[in-house]
Chain A
């Protein structure tokens, strides 16, 4: 009895220690807003190229998607009686990535429905930023892809009567699938081809991606895994069809691969937490992209690959828990 009493007084006399879950190191610059700002800066070259190539098509889509995403975030947060967290800029980033993954020719309702579905079904129903399982922008895009198949399909990218030169051609991957014609490597690199707004220029994606990696706003393992898997499988595919014009380099520079690898797959919320897990995640995306591109019914597979790997992210996290230094540690049951 006396012992317990003594313990009690001791615990009361101790200085108040706060017990809180990690992370314990706080840094003023490490905020959500800061990371999102980094992504926006990294998207700048892609935005510039898309506006230069697609003119008003790009401008319309970008403004519409960003506005709708921010509005959707505000409305859904208010519906949950929360303070709308617009100031952390995550809705802006979702809007930008959604806009850049849509075809410029897509009608306005595609952008509106995509934004609402992306923010609503992709993020808010799971509890908002940090809880989402899937990449919100890709959920929005997949949603409109299934809903408005004719406005999002391969032929919808093309409008012969358009004054903008890029829009009058078929996208490189569609051209490859339908006529077997190969687009020159240089044009894929610079980006004056048709396609989703942000995916055309490999150069812009590489520049922005490099910035993200240097700032460490994106984990390098993910793009490395994606490029490695896609490149390796593309080389195998080339070896199986010798003489094909669409080489491994085309596979790497063409389509949404680089845009997806640097901006979409690296979303820190919906990708795995451990370095090993991130690498596996990247490899999975790269392999699925090649599978869907070569065999699938859609010309491009980046979106579906990202969604599929997002869905196994919890399992990857579970099975790649790193061993602490000096481990193995016995697990308490």
Chain B
């Protein structure tokens, strides 16, 4: 029951209240680049959600068993090499490299899949599909998981369920934001936007106004937490 409440909180918080795009302003490049049409935005949303889930799951596994200070697997290997030592092995300097490898391989998977089964979508994504690798939203999710695994006391460390919830709902939140944006941008095609603002300018203004609207969700998570706990 406690876990369920925690999971619901993490889910709502990641998707709406602390929406990655509109609250933390990460993942802006595909948000601006692929939000021209609603169907493309959906495709990008699905791709990012998949990558973020895989990357989140793998980075939780690596952080918990290998990377964090005193991780079980690393300690075991270290003890094999150097028996009778009190040193706690710490591989956290490798965090970023491992995360980027994980993300890149997940993107490679998506790319092969989309290329094979949705060639049209693959064409319309263009460079933005491989660019998911450098999508900061995904690295942000990995780091958020890292923070909740090795940055807190052992008893409060996230399990795999929490990590997976965060990643999936962060991806869904990204999809929500990019689809809303795409809807607005399709509408903007028929609008008489001042010439200097056309394209990226008006898109950033709309993104700002969306962030303004999402600011209304401030502290909703606290209210929900009070209800659940």
List the A residue with the shortest CB-CB distance to B209.
Answer: A134
A127 to B179 alpha-carbon distance, docked (Å): 22
Q: Which of B186, B197, B212, B217 contacts A296 (CB 8 A)?
A: B217
Q: In the bound complex, do residue A307 and residue B216 qualify as a contact, i.e. CB atoms below 8 Å apart?
A: yes
Shortest CB-to-CB span from B184 to chain A, Å, is 5
Please give the number of chain B residues whose Cβ is less than 8 angstroms from any Cβ of chain A in the complex: 32
Also in contact, A126 and B202, with CB within 8 A (given A133-B184, A134-B209, A311-B210): yes
By a CB distance below 8 angstroms, the chain B residues around A310 are 213
- A161-169, A181-189, A204-212, A312-320: which lies at the interface: A312-320
Q: In the bound complex, do residue A303 and residue B223 qualify as a contact, i.e. CB atoms below 8 Å apart?
A: no
Q: Is residue A23 within 8 Å, beta carbon to beta carbon, of the partner chain?
A: no
- B84-92, B96-104, B128-136, B187-195: which lies at the interface: B187-195
Q: Is residue A170 within 8 Å, beta carbon to beta carbon, of the partner chain?
A: no
Q: Is residue B205 within 8 Å, beta carbon to beta carbon, of the partner chain?
A: yes
Q: Is the interface on chain A under 10, 10 to 19, 20 to 34, or 35 or more residues?
A: 35 or more
Shortest CB-to-CB span from B140 to chain A, Å, is 23
By a CB distance below 8 angstroms, the chain B residues around A314 are 183-184, 186-187
Q: In the bound complex, do residue A127 and residue B191 qualify as a contact, i.e. CB atoms below 8 Å apart?
A: yes
Also in contact, A305 and B216, with CB within 8 A (given A126-B188, A315-B183): yes
Q: In the bound complex, do residue A125 and residue B210 qualify as a contact, i.e. CB atoms below 8 Å apart?
A: no
Q: In the complex, which residues 105-134 of chain A have their Cβ closer than 8 Å to any Cβ of chain B?
A: 121-122, 124-128, 131, 133-134
Shortest CB-to-CB span from A34 to chain B, Å, is 23
Shortest CB-to-CB span from B139 to chain A, Å, is 27
Say what secondary structure dominates the interface of chain B.
helix
Q: Which of B183, B186, B194, B215 contacts A146 (CB 8 A)?
A: B215
Q: In the complex, which residues 195-229 of chain B have their Cβ closer than 8 Å to any Cβ of chain A?
A: 197, 202, 205-206, 209-210, 212-220, 222-224, 227
A325 to B213 alpha-carbon distance, docked (Å): 38
Scan A120-158; emit 1 where CB is below 8 A from any B CB, else 0: 011011111001011000010011001000000000000
Q: In the complex, which residues 277-333 of chain A have their Cβ closer than 8 Å to any Cβ of chain B?
A: 291-292, 294-298, 301, 303-305, 307-308, 310-312, 314-315, 317-318
Shortest CB-to-CB span from B10 to chain A, Å, is 16
Q: Is residue A26 within 8 Å, beta carbon to beta carbon, of the partner chain?
A: no
Shortest CB-to-CB span from A233 to chain B, Å, is 14
Q: In the bound complex, do residue B212 and residue A307 qualify as a contact, i.e. CB atoms below 8 Å apart?
A: yes
Scan B86-126; emit 1 where CB is below 8 A from any A CB, else 0: 00000000000000000000000000000000000000000
Shortest CB-to-CB span from A264 to chain B, Å, is 14
> Which 9 interchain pairs have the tightest Cβ spacing?
A304-B216, A297-B219, A295-B223, A127-B192, A307-B213, A314-B183, A131-B191, A315-B183, A314-B187
Task: Provide 14 A-B residue pairs closer than 8 Å at the C-beta atoms, listed in order of the A residue.
Answer: A126-B191, A127-B192, A131-B190, A131-B191, A133-B187, A139-B212, A142-B215, A146-B212, A292-B220, A295-B220, A295-B223, A296-B218, A308-B214, A311-B184
Which residues does A use to contact B, with CB under 8 Å?
80, 121-122, 124-128, 131, 133-134, 139, 142-143, 146, 291-292, 294-298, 301, 303-305, 307-308, 310-312, 314-315, 317-318
Which residues does B use to contact A, with CB under 8 Å?
38, 179-180, 183-184, 186-188, 190-194, 197, 202, 205-206, 209-210, 212-220, 222-224, 227
